[in-house]
Every structure is written in C-alpha cells, then in structure tokens.
Amino acid sequence: MYIPKHFQELNKDKLIELIGQYPFASLITHTASGIEVNHLPFYLQKKEGESALFSHIAKANPLWKTVPAGAEILIVFNGPNAYISPNYYPSKQEHGRAVPTWNYVAVHVKGTIKFLHNNENKLAVVSALTNLQEAHQPTPWSVSDAPSMYIEKMLSAIVGVEVEITSITGKWKVSQNQSLENQQGVINGLATSGEMPLTDLASIMTEAISID
Amino acid sequence: MYIPKHFQELNKDKLIELIGQYPFASLITHTASGIEVNHLPFYLQKKEGESALFSHIAKANPLWKTVPAGAEILIVFNGPNAYISPNYYPSKQEHGRAVPTWNYVAVHVKGTIKFLHNNENKLAVVSALTNLQEAHQPTPWSVSDAPSMYIEKMLSAIVGVEVEITSITGKWKVSQNQSLENQQGVINGLATSGEMPLTDLASIMTEAISID
C-alpha cells in the first residue's frame, strides 16, 4: 500500500481499535495457483506477549491444505470510505482549484499463518469471536447455549486460523493534505449526509483533526 | 475465495450492479517483493465489446513501475457485511441448534493490468469517475469547472489504471443455507438495527429471497 507520510497512522492503539471496530477482513494468500482472498472476521489477542489474530474457515475450504504453516500472508481491515466532492471545500468557491478524491481508513497486517485442528483451540476461537460480537446484542447468545453434541459436530466442520503478526501498517487518508477549513468542510459534508459509513468517516476525521 | 454452491452468485448483472454501488475496491498485485494491496475506486466500461475496469493512482505510487503491463491482478469489491447472531433464527427458540455466522457480499474480478500515461486517457478516466460519483451531489461538480492549467498539472501527478477483465466471481453469503423462516428472521434483525450497512444487507437478502 502506497502511503504518503501525511496519510501514515503510526499510533498502534488506533490501528488496533480499528481492527476491533471493523473485524471483517480480507485474508490474502499467494500460492502457485495465484492470489487468493477469503473474507473472515478476526479478533486480536495477546499470546505469550505477542499479538496474534484469530479466525476460522470451513474445513471444506482448501486453504488449510494449499497454504503451508508459516507462510507469509496479508490481512486487510477496511474502515469507512467515501467519495469526497470538491463541493465540500470552501476554498473551491474562492479559486476553483480543486479535484475530487476518496477518503478511507485501512489497516494492513502482515504475519505468518498456521491452522488449528485441535477441538479445544477451535472452541476457544469461536467462543472469543462470538462473545465479542454478542456483546452488542440485547440478550447475548453464548456458545454454551447450544447443545454440546451439536457444537462438537460444528467444530469438526471448521479449521482455526492463527496469524502471528510481524507488522501492522495504517493508512488514514482523511484530507490531512487540505487546509483546516477544507477538512471541516469535508466533515460537514459527510456528517450531514446522515448515511452511516459517511458519518463514521466524519467522526474519524474529527478525531484526526483534534489530535493533530 | 472458497464458494459453496449455494453461496455462488452467477447473475453477472448483479455482480456488475454491486461494482457500481460499492466502487471502492482493493487492487491486489503480487511481485517479487510479495503481496501488495492498494485501495482505489473503479468504474466499469465496455471497450471494444469487452468490459474493462478503470481507475488511477498517484504517480508517486511505485506500482506502475513494479507491476509489468499484462500482469494478472485481482480486484476485490466488498458489499455490506454483518455478524449474524443465532438470536435472529426463530428455529433457535425451538431446538437451540444454531451457531453464529457472518453474512457478506463480495465480487472478485481477475484481469490483466496496464497503466495509462497519456493525458487524454487520464482525463477520460478522471472525468468518468467524477461524473459517476457527482451524480449523487445536489449540484454536480465537473472536471471542466476547475481551471484547465490546474487540471493539467493534476493529471501529470497521476497514472491511469486499466484492467482487462478475464473473470468475475460473486459470493452472496446471505443465509441461503437457512430455512425461509430463519432468513426472514435475519432480515428483520438487520433491518430493525437501523444501521446503514446492515439495512443494506437486509435489502440484498430480501432481493435474494424473492428471486429464488
């Protein structure tokens, strides 16, 4: 990912926060048959002092047979994105020198993959993923709510995924190359749309302005 | 991307519609230095009877130097996605046999890339991208609204991207493996959340049910 310096986000806490807010990611692998992308939700957990990402795939997905343990992979987390019209810039009214762009937030995690076949490990992964997501439910469902024989059968149909992280990179392309006045114009333009991904991006931009 | 048969979307018009609705994509390349992902908006255009995808990158992005013309690349378009709680399934109340999943829509386009350096081609690309996005603005901005000297300077700072499509694959993972009653339960659960990506997914699921 090409990142000009002014779009680079070095605050690791912010990158980890984004992973928690937008956990549904693209797992990108490369083998002799080319590039392969699978879409999975991940969660981050400290393991022996190091951070690792966990998820699971269907056992019918050949990925665990074609990608060797220890292979380098890339996981891409996408935050909100939006088209940015020159209409949002107050400066456009003055001199007309403006072009559109696209604002977005992305976190790229490089790491080495391994697959988990042990039932205890797989249960830990599905339980942790479930508990994180169910926290938003009015009456959180728990894996132990289902009959244990059924859960055992379901576990046998999946393979766990563990990714040991080697690097995390964040791109916050949120108008930092514009004047404060234009940044505020973009925030207003997105916020007044009322559409969720756009208002989310407006919040991220407001935070970026107030920190810098 | 692993696609069980019941999640495969073969209707090419639906795939092309999704590209139009969610144009902001991941361009995935592979070179000697590994997997590289850049995030760009694309638009689809017929060219000599064949469909091609167009976008542009900053000239400062080394991609056009590291990826040779004709290289096979992958472009991933992501539709809405959402965690699906077992709480959404009416059948869970009866027998408890339910596990969470994640619903999502994704279109993968394979193709061969080439880069456009000619100003006329680049102007055509930025104009088409702009016009598509500005169609949603109350007062659409046009590239010709900016001073022509300024546009010429901006064009010199970008490189066009053209991808000749070799295959398009769609995955509509929207509860087709559940009973109609459970599918309706998921639609209700997502629709009542009021959050835009979730209500969008509910619409896609409603459409999927009414067509099948």
Q: Which residues of A touch B196 (CB under 8 A)?
A: 195-197
> Which among A41, A61, A87 is the nearest to B137, CB-wise?
A87
Helix (H) or strand (E) holding B173: strand B158-173
Q: Residue A190 domain-assigned?
A: no
Whether the Cβ atoms of residue A133 and residue B99 lie closer than 8 Å to each other = no
The answer to whether residue A36 sits within a structural domain is yes
| Min Cα separation A39/chain B (Å) | 8
Is residue B54 within 8 A of residue B84, CB to CB? The reply is no
In this structure, is residue A121 part of a structural domain?
A: yes
* Cβ contact B141–A76 (<8 Å): no
What pLDDT score was predicted for residue A25? 98
A58 in reach of chain B (CB within 8 A): yes
Mean pLDDT, residues A155-175 taken together: 96
Q: CA of A172: which chain B residue's CA is closest?
A: B39
Residuewise pLDDT in 10s, chain B (212 residues): 999 999 999 999 999 999 999 999 999 999 988 999 999 999 999 877 788 999 999 999 999 999 999 999 999 999 999 999 999 999 988 899 999 999 999 999 999 999 999 999 999 999 999 999 999 888 999 999 999 999 999 999 999 999 999 999 999 999 999 999 999 999 999 988 777 777 788 888 888 776 55
Average pLDDT over residues A170-190: 93
Write out pLDDT tens, residues A46-91.
Answer: 877 788 999 999 999 999 999 999 999 999 999 999 999 999 999 9
Q: Given this model, what pLDDT does residue B211 score?
A: 54
CA B133 to chain centre: 14
Where residue A210 falls among pLDDT bands split at 50, 70, 90? low
Domain count, chain B: 1
Q: Classify residue A198: in a domain, yes or no.
A: no
List the single residue in A with minimal CA-CA distance to B33: A72
pLDDT digits (tens, 9 = 90+) for A98-113: 999 999 999 999 999 9
Average pLDDT over residues A191-209: 79
B37, B57, B102 ranked by CB distance to A108: nearest: B37
Q: Does A125 touch chain B (CB under 8 A)?
A: no
Interface of A with B in 129-148 (CB under 8 A): 129-130, 133-134, 136-137, 139, 141, 143, 145-147
In a domain, B67, yes or no: yes
Task: List chain A residues with CB under 8 Å of B36.
Answer: 1
In a domain, A165, yes or no: yes
Reported pTM: 0.95
User: For residue B159, what are its two tokens?
Assistant: 């490189």
Does some domain include residue A10? yes
**B128 contact A CB<8A:** no
C-beta separation of A161 from A27 below 8 A: yes
Which pLDDT does position A82 carry in this prediction? Answer: 94
Measure CB to CB from residue B24 to each of A24, A41, A81 and give the nearest one: A81
CATH code of the domain covering residue A95? 2.30.110.10
Whether B100 has its CB under 8 Å from any CB of chain A: the answer is yes
What is each CA distance from A129 to A34, A126, A173, B100, B194, in whole angstroms? 29, 5, 29, 9, 23
- Looking at residue B4, its pLDDT comes to 94
Give per-residue pLDDT as tens, B92-120: 888 999 999 999 999 999 999 999 999 99
B53, B42 contact by CB (below 8 A):
yes
Q: Are residues A146 and B97, on separate chains, in Cβ contact within 8 Å?
A: yes
* Domain hosting residue B117, numbered range: 5-176
pLDDT of A139: 93
Assigned domain for B159 exists: yes
Q: Is B20 in CB contact (< 8 Å) with chain A?
A: no
